[in-house]
Copies of this chain bind each other. A is one copy, B any other.
Amino acid sequence: MSNRKSSPKKKQRVTINDVARAAGVSNATVSRVLSEYEFVKESTRNRVMEAVERLGYVPNLQARSLASGHSQIIGLLVPNLDNSYIGTITQGIDQELAHSNYDVMLYTSHRHPGKESYYVDAFANGLTEGLLLIAPLVPAAYLDTLRAQNIPYILIDQADAAESSNVVEATNWQGAYEATRYLCELGHTRIAFITGWLGVQSAIDRLEGYKAALTDGAIPIREELVIQGDYQQQTGYEITQKLLQSVDPPPTAIFASNDLSAFGAMDAAREAGLAIPDDLSILGFDDIPQASFVYPKLTTVRQPLELMGQVAVKMLLEQIEDRSLPPQRVALATQLVIRDSCRRIDPTE
């Protein structure tokens, strides 16, 4: 008989009822103690905590969410994870989350390329209380459903047309304007521009900033110097190769829409036998960590990536708490970081 209850092999999970029994209270009381409900007698609380301790009880999350309607989980949708642009933003997200009780589900959009509906389902399944979308993604594929399901979401570094989206971005236009301006002031007149993926607004804004600065500097915009990229290093490399071969006279400066593209450009330039910045100035956008570690150190427009992540989390949690909050858009200031990849040239060159 006695060996019945001593069987330790029962790997059954400890439930709230076990704790309740052990503490001689009802499960409701245990629940109250665990959710830090105020009106529980000190002694009862102690008894419960002791039992929790002793049994090694850990609440079951799905049961809790099912009953309460809150999962305390947010989703993070990213195109991929192989560059530190995303990584840095995520760092910020993470920091902010440390102050909260939320955890994060990771969704990568390339896991099911073209299967946006898969994700839409995943978001709608109730697991996730809100969503952080980091650019560059094709938001249109998700956003309608998200709105229909009334799931709060924040777009990071990419605006969309709908008024109802929350977005955290940087002052892309201004950043690009200022950077281009800087290049002009260094005497450059043949400034090529490698765009980002033009499916997102931020890429368009950067392009517009570039154009505006040229116009203000009385430099004609030459379409053959504006090439469509996609934020990938490899593409930056290929574009630059082509640019250097086919445009005559060649540009004296290249402004890339993100640092990764700029790295690609540097590489192509070097392969073409051009010294940076002596033969060619290169300027990036983002200021990811490697920007200060490549050689020469990359002059770039800093986006406050970490801060963007933090702000996004803050906004999202607010929206989750109070669904009636009006949508917000915040644009954080960019800053030109002058390092070693651009040099002054004689205008007559």
List chain A positions with a Cβ less than 8 A from chain B.
11, 13, 58-63, 65-66, 71, 73, 76, 80-84, 86-88, 90-91, 94-95, 97-98, 103-108, 110-112, 121-122, 124-127, 150, 233, 263-264, 266-267, 270, 289-290, 293-295
Residue of B nearest to A125 (CB): B61
Name the B residues within 8 Å of A95 (CB-CB): 111
Q: Taking A87-B87, A104-B105, A295-B295 as contacts, is the C-beta distance between A81 and B82 under 8 angstroms?
A: no
* B103 & A103 in contact (Cβ 8 Å cutoff): no
Distance of A107 Cα from B293 Cα, bound (Å): 28
A127 touches B61 (CB 8 A): yes
Question: How close is A28's CB to chain B, nearest CB, in angstroms?
Answer: 19
Q: Are B108 and A105 touching (Cβ within 8 A)?
A: no
CA of A91 to CA of B13, assembled, Å: 33
A59 / chain B contacts, CB cutoff of 8 Å: 125
> Known contacts A62-B66, A81-B91, A270-B295; can you find 10 more A-B pairs with CB under 8 A?
A60-B125, A80-B91, A81-B81, A82-B84, A82-B87, A86-B87, A263-B290, A263-B293, A266-B295, A290-B290
Check A81 against B87 for contact (C-beta < 8 Å).
Answer: yes
A104 to B, closest residue via Cβ: B106
State how many angstroms separate the Cβ of A150 from the closest Cβ of chain B. Answer: 6
CB pair B108–A106 under 8 Å, yes or no, is: no
Contact of A121 (CB < 8 Å), options: B11, B58, B98: B58
A53 to B340, CA, bound (A): 58
Bound together, the chains give a CA A108 to CA B107 distance in angstroms of 15
Let me know if B83 and A87 touch, CB within 8 A.
yes
B86, B88, B94, B233: the one contacting A108 at CB < 8 Å is: B94
- Would you give 14 A-B contacts (Cβ < 8 Å), ordered by A? A62-B127, A80-B87, A80-B91, A81-B86, A82-B90, A83-B84, A84-B84, A94-B108, A95-B111, A98-B111, A105-B106, A233-B293, A263-B293, A294-B295
A72 to chain B, nearest CB (A): 10
Please give, as numbers and ranges, the residues of chain B lying within 8 Å of A106 by CB-CB distance.
Answer: 76, 103-106
Say whether B91 contacts A126, CB under 8 Å.
no
B289 touches A82 (CB 8 A): yes
Tell me the smallest distance from the CB of A333 to a CB of chain B, in Å.
22
Q: How far is the CA of A76 from the CA of B107 in the complex (A)?
A: 12
| A124 engages B58 (CB within 8 Å) | yes
- Residues of B contacting A76 with CB < 8 Å? 106
Q: Give chain B residues whose Cβ lies under 8 Å from the Cβ of A127.
A: 61-62
Contact for A90 among B81, B88, B150, B263, CB less than 8 A: B81
The 4 A-B residue pairs with the shortest CB-CB distance in the complex, in nearest-first order: A62-B62, A82-B87, A106-B106, A81-B87
| Contact among B65, B105, B111, B295 with A97 in the assembled complex (CB-CB below 8 Å) | B111
**In the complex, which residues of chain B have a beta carbon less than 8 angstroms from the beta carbon of A11?**
150
Closest chain B residue, CB of each to CB of A96: B111
Residues of B within 8 A of A13 (CB): 126
Give every chain B residue within 8 A of A90 (Cβ-Cβ).
Answer: 81-82
What is the CA–CA distance of A65 and B73 in the complex, to the nearest angstrom? Answer: 15
